[in-house]
Amino acid sequence: MLRKARSVFWLAMFPVMLLLSGSLTPVWADEKADRRYQVNMEPGVTDIGAEIFSLHMLIFWICVVIGVVVFGVMFYSIYAHRKSRGVTPATFHESTKVEIAWTVVPFLILFGMAVPATSTLIEVYDTEDAEIDILVTGYQWKWKYEYLQEDGENVSFFSNLKTSQEEIYNQDDKGQFYLLDVDEPLVIPVDTKVRFLVTAYDVIHAMWIPELAVKKDAIPGFINETWTRAKETGIYRGQCAELCGKDHGFMPVVVNVVERDEYDAWLADKQAQAAEIAALMEQTFTMDELMARGQDVYDRACLACHGANGEGGVGKAIAGSAIAMGPLDGHFDIVINGSRNNAAMQAFGGQLNDVDLAAVLTFQRNGFGNNMGEMIQPIDVFNYKQGQ
Amino acid sequence: MGDHHHGPAKGLSRWLFATNHKDIGTMYLWFSFAMFLVGGAFAMIIRAELFQPGMQLIRPEFFNQMTTMHGLIMVFGAIMPAFVGLANWMIPMMIGAPDMALPRMNNWSFWILPPAFLLLLATMFMPGGGPAFGWTFYAPLSTTYAPPSVTFFIFGVHILGLSSIMGSINIVATVMNLRAPGMTYMKMPLFVWTWFITAYLLIAVMPVLAGAVTMMLMDIHFGTSFFSAAGGGDPVLFQHVFWFFGHPEVYIIILPAFGVVSQIIPAFARKPLFGYDSMVYATASIAFLSFIVWAHHMYTVGMPIAGELFFMYATMLIAVPTGVKVFNWITTMWRGAMTFETPMLFCIGFVVLFTIGGFTGLMLSIAPSDFQYHDSYFVVAHFHYVMVAGAVFSMTAAVYYWLPKWCGKMYNETMGKTHFWISFIGFNVTFFPQHFVGLAGMPRRIPDYALQFADFNMISSIGAFIYGASQLLFLYNVIATIVGGKPVSDEKVWEGAEGLEWTVPTPAPFHTFSTPPQVR
In this structure, the answer to whether residues B478 and B422 fall within a common structural domain is yes
Give me the pLDDT at residue A34, please. Answer: 66
Question: How confident is the model over B169-178, as pLDDT tens digits?
Answer: 999 999 999 9
Torsion region of A368: left, alpha or beta (phi above 0 gives left; psi -120 to 50 gives alpha): left
Task: Please list every residue in chain B whose beta carbon sits closer than 8 Å to the beta carbon of residue A222.
Answer: 229, 234-236, 302
Supply the DSSP string of B379-432, one letter for each residue: HHHHHHHHIIIIIIHHHHHHHHHHHHHHHSEE--HHHHHHHHHHHHHHHHHHHH
- CA nearest A304 in B: which residue? B60
Q: Which domain holds residue B70?
A: 32-175+194-222
Indicate if A143 and A113 belong to the same structural domain.
Answer: no
- Chain A, nearest residue to B437 by Cα: A39
Cα dihedral value B360, B396, B11, B7, nearest 10 = -110
Residues of A (226-245) whose Cβ lies below 8 Å from B: 237-245
Q: What is the pLDDT at residue A29? A: 39
Q: Give B-chain residues touching A216 at CB under 8 angstroms.
A: 300, 302
Which chain B residues are within 8 Å of A221, Cβ to Cβ? 228-230, 234-235
Top pLDDT among B416 and A372 is at: B416
B407 with B450, same domain? yes
Nearest CA of chain B to the CA of A384: how many Å?
25
Q: Residue B369: which of A59, A178, A238 has the nearest Cβ? A: A59
Best of A35, A51, A99 to mutate (most B CBs within 10 Å, chain B): A99
- CATH number at A198 reads 2.60.40.420
* Ranges under pLDDT 70 in chain A: 1-34, 152
A367 lies in a domain?
yes
Q: Are residues A212 and A263 in the same domain?
A: yes
Which residues make beta-bridge pairs with A215?
A208
What residue type is A365 in one-letter code? R
User: Quick one: pLDDT at residue A55?
Assistant: 96
A90 touches chain B (CB under 8 A): yes
Do A140 and A271 belong together in one domain? yes
Whether B22 maps to a domain, the answer reads no
* pLDDT number for residue B4: 53
Of A77, A225, A240, the CB nearest to B443: A240
The verdict on residue B98 lying in a domain is: yes
Whether A256 and A373 map to the same domain: the answer is no
Check whether residue B198 and residue B297 sit in a common domain: no
Q: Are residues B308 and B199 in the same domain?
A: no
A219 contacts chain B (CB < 8 A): yes
Q: Classify residue B254: in a domain, yes or no.
A: yes
**A99–B275 C-beta distance less than 8 A:** yes
Claim to verify: residue A273 and residue A147 sit in the same structural domain = yes
Closest CB to B141: pick one of A120, A204, A249: A204
Say if the Cβ atoms of A10 and B132 lie within 8 Å: no
- The residue out of A228, A250, A277 marking a domain boundary is A277
- DSSP, res B498: -
Q: What is d(CA B33, CA A216) in angstroms, rounded to the nearest whole number?
A: 39
Q: How far is B66 from chain A (nearest CA, A)?
A: 12
Give residue-wise pLDDT tens across range B244-268.
999 999 999 999 999 999 999 999 9
Interchain proximity B53–A110, CB inside 8 Å: no
A-B contacts at Cβ under 8 angstroms: 302
Interchain pair B335, A74: CB under 8 A: no
Nearest CA-CA distance, residue A286 and chain B, Å: 38
pLDDT of residue B6: 66
Let me know if residue B228 belongs to a domain.
no
Which residues of chain A have a CB within 8 Å of the CB of B369? 52, 55-56, 59, 117
Check whether residue B295 and residue B400 sit in a common domain: yes
Question: Does the beta-carbon distance from B366 to A117 stay under 8 Å?
Answer: yes
Domain that holds residue A57: 41-83+94-126
Check residue A31 and give its pLDDT.
Answer: 45
Are residues B422 and B479 both part of a single domain?
yes
What is the pLDDT at residue B5? 57
Average pLDDT over chain B, rounded to an integer: 95
Tell me the chain A residues in contact with residue B440 when contact means C-beta distances shorter than 8 Å. Answer: 35, 38-42, 210
Domain count, chain A: 4
Chain B residues within 8 A of A7 when measuring between CB atoms: 455, 458-459, 462
Structural domains counted in chain B: 2
Looking at the structure, tell me whether residues A206 and A322 fall in a common domain.
no
Residue among A110, A168, A208 whose CB faces B319 most closely: A110
- Name the residue among B301, B362, B456 with its Cβ closest to that of A217: B301
Q: Both A165 and A202 in a single domain?
A: yes
The string of pLDDT tens digits covering residues B118-130 is 999 999 999 989 9
The reported pLDDT for the residue numbered A329 is: 86
Which residues in chain A are closer than 8 Å to B331, comparing Cβ atoms? 98
Spatial separation of the C-alpha atoms in residues A79 and A318, rounded to whole Å: 70
Tell which of B279, B351, B371 to mutate to test the A interface (max A CBs under 10 Å): B371
Chain B contact present for A197, CB below 8 A: no
Nearest-CB residue to A168 (from B54, B228, B338): B54
State the pLDDT confidence band at B66, using cuts at 50, 70 and 90.
Answer: very high
* Tens digit of each residue's pLDDT (9 = 90 or more) over B451-497: 999 999 999 999 999 999 999 999 999 999 999 989 998 888 999 99
Q: Is residue B371 part of a domain?
A: yes
CB contact under 8 A, A245 and B229: no
Residue of B nearest to A76 (CA): B334
Longest dimension (CA), chain B: 70
Q: Which of A276-290, B69-83, B501-515 has the lowest mean pLDDT?
A: A276-290
- Which positions of B are catalytic? 70, 99, 135, 163-164, 247, 249, 251, 262, 296-297, 322, 325, 444
Chosen domain end from A277, A296, A312: A277
Task: Say whether both A159 and A200 belong to one domain.
Answer: yes
Contact B443 A36 (CB under 8 A): no
Say yes or no: A142 and A253 in one domain: yes
Q: Would the CB atoms of A242 and B274 count as touching at under 8 Å?
A: no
Residues A7 and A31 in one domain: yes
- Please give the torsion angle defined by the CA atoms of residues B430, B433, B434 and B436, in that order, rounded to the nearest 10 degrees: 180
A113 and chain B in contact, CB less than 8 A: yes
What's the gap in Å between the CA of B321 and the closest CA on chain A? Answer: 7
Instruction: Report if residue B400 sits inside a domain.
Output: yes
Q: Would B230 be classed as within a structural domain?
A: no
Q: Is residue A218 part of a domain?
A: yes
**Once rounded to an integer, what is the mean pLDDT over residues B291-298?**
96
A264 and A141, same structural domain?
A: yes
- Phi, psi (5° rounding) for residue B142? -95, 0
Where a domain ends, among A126, A149, A179?
A126
Same-domain status, A248 and A339: no
Residues from chain A contacting residue B301 (CB–CB below 8 Å):
217, 219, 224
Taking contacts as CB-CB distances below 8 angstroms, the residues of chain A near B286 are none
Is the CB of B436 less than 8 angstroms away from the CB of A78? no
Of B229, B371, B375, which is closest to A213 when you measure between CB atoms? B371
Check whether residue B205 and residue B269 sit in a common domain.
no
Q: In this structure, which amino acid lies at residue A134?
A: I
Closest C-alpha to A17, from A44, A45, A38: A38
Task: Evaluate whether residue B391 is within a structural domain.
Answer: yes
Do B350 and B216 lie in a common domain? no
- B267 and B367 within one domain: yes
Q: What are phi and psi of A226, to 5 degrees?
A: -155, 175
Could you tell me if B322 and B288 lie in one domain? yes
Residues 32-71 of A with CB under 8 A from B: 34-42, 51-52, 55-56, 59-60, 63, 66-67, 70-71
Q: CATH number for the domain including B377? A: 1.20.210.10
The whole-number pLDDT of residue A1 equals: 41
Query: Tell me, what's the pLDDT at A332?
Result: 87
pLDDT of residue A378: 87
Least CB–CB distance from A81: residue in B308, B327, B337: B337
Assess if residue A74 is contained within a domain. Answer: yes
Q: Does A6 touch chain B (CB under 8 A)?
A: yes
pLDDT at A321: 86
The model's pTM is 0.88
A145 in a structural domain: yes
Identify whether residues B209 and B257 lie together within a single domain.
no
Q: Does B209 share its domain with B287? A: no
